[in-house]
A = this chain, B = another copy of it.
Amino acid sequence: MVQSDLSKQRLEFVPNIPKDWEHLDRIEVVEQEAISVDEDVRFSFPQTFSQKPLRFSLGEKKEHDRLRVGVVFSGGQAPGGHNVVVALFEALKKLHPKSELLGFLNGPKGILADDFKVLDSALLAKYANQGGFDLLGSGRTKIETKEQFAKAKETILKHRLNGLVIIGGDDSNTNAAFLAEYFIKEKVSCSVVGVPKTIDGDLKNTHLEVSFGFDTATKVYSELVGNVCFDALSAKKYYFFIKLMGRAASHIALECALQTHPNVTLIGEEIANSQKTFWQIVEDIAKVICQRADDGKNYGVILIPEGIVEFIPSFRQLTLELNRIPLQQFETSEEKLNAVKKHLSPKALGDFVRLPETFQKQLLIDRDPHGNVPVSKIESERLFIEAVKKELNYLKHQGRYRGVFKPQPLFFGYEGRCSLPSNFDCAYCRLLGLEAALLIHAKKTGYLASVANLSQPVERWQAHAIPIVSLMHFEERKGKKVPVVKKAHVDLQGAPFHKFEKHREQWMLSDAYRYPGPIQFFGPDGLTNAVSETLRLERS
């Protein structure tokens, strides 16, 4: 790693925290009213189901124990992660200079393999306010089996850890809750604390306003989408089909739409709700393109959430039926095609044969390790381009389309996961890290660090902690009903979607593009500390 001038400048930055938090040794953890927990979930968490939410308040100065704590990044990267670790270290050392922090390497598998590095201030000084998870690396291993639990226990005991901080998304926090439960049962005195991380923005509920990383990542994507909107408007030549990360929910696409006003934005949750078929969506897009062509506009921008095809009921039905056909038995594409024609229901077959040839083949040939169609690998931006092309050709023959269609596929995802965190994510993550340390000092386990009032200035932020079990519900995974942290989908009754709904007709035809520009770290407060539209609309 070689530091750029901006990286160096960011190292010097000290993110704001609420004033009380300057006195870490006076912060007390206070129990609040219990939140209701799903009856079935209780059954799976006999040790932790009754935990009450916590808040923090300023009390008398008190002595703190020397602690040994482990920390791990789990799952996809999100800007701000380093600040959680840096602040966790800051708090541990402030509360007891001899406390120690271990970082497990390359995700939870680092816990299982006892692969770690001891963190010190010299090393951490290079990571404050920097993007990426490269201090420790990350990984997607889950701690699920009996053997894995035992291995985790072994590592914890070996290092005599008083606490383990898991920085992760919904699945990682599900894991954290199970680990907390297991450690109590096994009489391992180690607090497990989760920190809500995911750029997708789908880890939130009444008590959790937003996960860290969403703010920065959507700002990066909005910068790029805004730029592309003005490229479309300047050259007047291309239709950009931009796929945006976000598989299970369309929060990223919605936030980018609110920031940049592209002509069309598909929202997976709305499509699922409307029961539209793939071809109805294609027809909708083609209709907008026709209308714009009638206005002399043969350009535009269309946002497509990465997970879109999984939201389309007819597409889901098609893949479900395809999964049931043992296509591996057939060799040539012709034989496979015949099998498909024989076994698919008429409706699914109709959907299938209308698909562009490349994608038909992809559906026939590719299978994931479980023998299923690998839906997540379908390049939906290209699928829509091919399908819209087909539809426009049809409309052209009918004399209903008089334009020229030059599409360009784009995908924005990886470039937003490790960018320099915005001031918002820097400050949010610092507070989350401080909280995690205090929760461990207070011997609280199975909690998710959290902050309320995030749409307000930092001074009014309210740190609190949520029992992870309270975020859970039952879901089918690999054919079994299991308790998991619930993913938050775009709320079709919520303020962000309402704002989108109100304006989208106008954005479709007029070019009301908006240009948020790159994240600014210096300059006017309104610029450097602006929160996402989603958070602002939901919470203020």
Question: Footprint of B on A, CB under 8 Å?
Answer: 1-7, 9-10, 73, 76-77, 106, 130-134, 137-139, 220, 223-224, 226-228, 230-231, 233-236, 238, 240, 259, 261, 408, 410-411, 414-420, 511-524, 526-527, 530
Please, which residues of chain B bring their CB within 8 A of the CB of A522? 520, 522-524, 527
Contact across chains for B6 and A516 when beta carbons are under 8 A apart: yes
Q: List 10 A-B contacts (CB under 8 A).
A: A4-B514, A6-B527, A10-B517, A137-B235, A228-B414, A228-B415, A231-B415, A408-B414, A520-B521, A520-B522
Cβ A2 vs Cβ B514 within 8 A:
yes
Residues of B near A7 (CB, < 8 A) are 514-515, 517
Q: What is the distance, in angstroms, from A235's C-beta to the closest C-beta of chain B?
A: 6
Asked whether, in the complex, the Cβ of B236 is within 8 Å of the Cβ of A137, the reply is yes
Is B230 a contact partner of A518 (Cβ separation < 8 A)?
A: no
**With A1-B511, A131-B227, A523-B522 as contacts: A419 and B236 at CB distance below 8 Å:** no
Contact of A234 among B6, B10, B77, B512 (CB under 8 A): B77
Could you tell me if B520 and A131 are in contact, using CB atoms closer than 8 angstroms? no
A85 to chain B minimum Cβ distance, whole angstroms, is 13
Would you call A227 and B518 a contact (CB within 8 A)? no
Could you tell me if A530 and B5 are in contact, using CB atoms closer than 8 angstroms? yes
By the criterion CB–CB under 8 Å, are B234 and A137 in contact? yes
Chain B positions within 8 Å of A233 at CB level? 1, 132, 134, 137
A-B pairs with lowest CB-CB distance, top 6: A522-B523, A518-B518, A132-B230, A6-B517, A133-B234, A230-B418
Chain B minimum-CB-distance residue to A408: B414
User: What chain B residues lie within 8 Å of A223 (beta carbons)?
Assistant: 419, 518
- Closest approach, in angstroms, between the C-beta of A139 and any C-beta of chain B? 8
Neighbouring B residues of A235 by C-beta, 8 Å: 76-77, 133, 137-139
- B residues near A130, Cβ cutoff 8 Å: 515
Identify which of A130, A220, A513, A520 gathers the most chain B CB atoms within 10 Å of its CB: A520
**Contact partners of A234 in chain B: CB under 8 A:** 73, 77, 132-134, 137-138, 417-418
- Interface centre among A3, A132, A224, A522, by most chain B C-beta atoms within 10 angstroms, is A132
- A520 contacts which of B6, B106, B411, B511 (Cβ < 8 Å)? B6
Q: Which residues of B contact A224 (CB under 8 A)?
A: 224, 415
Q: Which of A76, A134, A415, A527 has most B Cβ within 10 Å?
A: A415
- Contact pick for A517, options B4, B415, B511, CB 8 Å: B4
Of all chain B residues, the one with the shortest Cβ separation from A503 is B2
Also in contact, A5 and B526, with CB within 8 A (given A414-B240, A515-B420): yes
Residue contact A5 to B417, C-beta cutoff 8 Å: no
Measured CA separation A527–B4 after assembly (Å): 10
Q: B231 and A77: CB pair below 8 A? A: yes
Q: Which of B3, B6, B417, B420 contacts A231 (CB 8 A)?
A: B417
Chain B residues near A261 (CB-CB < 8 A): 2
**A408 to B73 alpha-carbon distance, docked (Å):** 22
Q: How far is the CA of A70 from the CA of B516 in the complex (A)?
A: 31
Name the residue among A231, A238, A519 with the largest chain B CB count within 10 angstroms: A231
**Bound-complex Cα distance A240 to B106 (A):** 19
- CB-CB under 8 A from A77, the residues of chain B are 230-231, 234-235
Residue in chain B with minimal CB distance to A524: B9
Using A137-B234, A523-B523 as known contacts, list a sample of 5 further A-B pairs with CB atoms less than 8 Å apart, ordered by residue number in A. Answer: A3-B515, A5-B530, A131-B227, A137-B233, A240-B414
Q: In whole angstroms, what is the CA distance A138 to B236 when docked?
A: 8
Residues of chain B lying within 8 A (CB to CB) of residue A420: 515, 517-518
Contact (Cβ within 8 A) B418 A227? yes
Q: Within the assembled complex, what's the spacing in Å between the Cα atoms of A487 and B526?
A: 44
Q: CA–CA, A412 to B76, complex, Å? A: 22
Which B residue's beta carbon lies closest to that of A420?
B517
- Bound CA–CA A369/B240 (angstroms): 23
B131, B220, B411, B526: the one contacting A515 at CB < 8 Å is B131
Complex alpha-carbon distance, A410 and B412, angstroms: 9
Q: Is the CB of A131 within 8 A of B230?
A: yes
- In the complex, what's the smallest C-beta–C-beta distance from A185 to chain B, in angstroms? 33
Chain B proximity of A485: nearest CB distance (Å): 22
Cβ contacts under 8 Å, A410 to chain B: 411, 414-415
List chain B residues, Cβ under 8 A from A417. 227, 231, 234
Residue among A6, A520, A522 facing the most chain B CB atoms (10 A cut-off)? A6
Measured between alpha carbons, how far is A138 from B518 in the docked complex, in Å?
24
What chain B residues lie within 8 Å of A9 (beta carbons)? 523-524, 527
A19→B33 CA distance, assembly (Å): 67
Identify which of A513, A517, A530 gathers the most chain B CB atoms within 10 Å of its CB.
A517
Chain B residues near A106 (CB-CB < 8 A) = 236
Measured in the bound complex, the distance between the Cα atoms of B280 and A116 in whole Å is: 40
How far apart sit A229 and B4, CA to CA, in the bound complex (Å)?
13
Per the bound structure, the CA–CA distance linking A131 and B223 in Å amounts to 12
C-alpha spacing A536/B230, complex, angstroms:
30
Point out the residues of chain B lying under 8 angstroms from A238, CB to CB. 414
Residue from A131, A259, A515 with most neighbouring chain B CB atoms (10 Å): A515
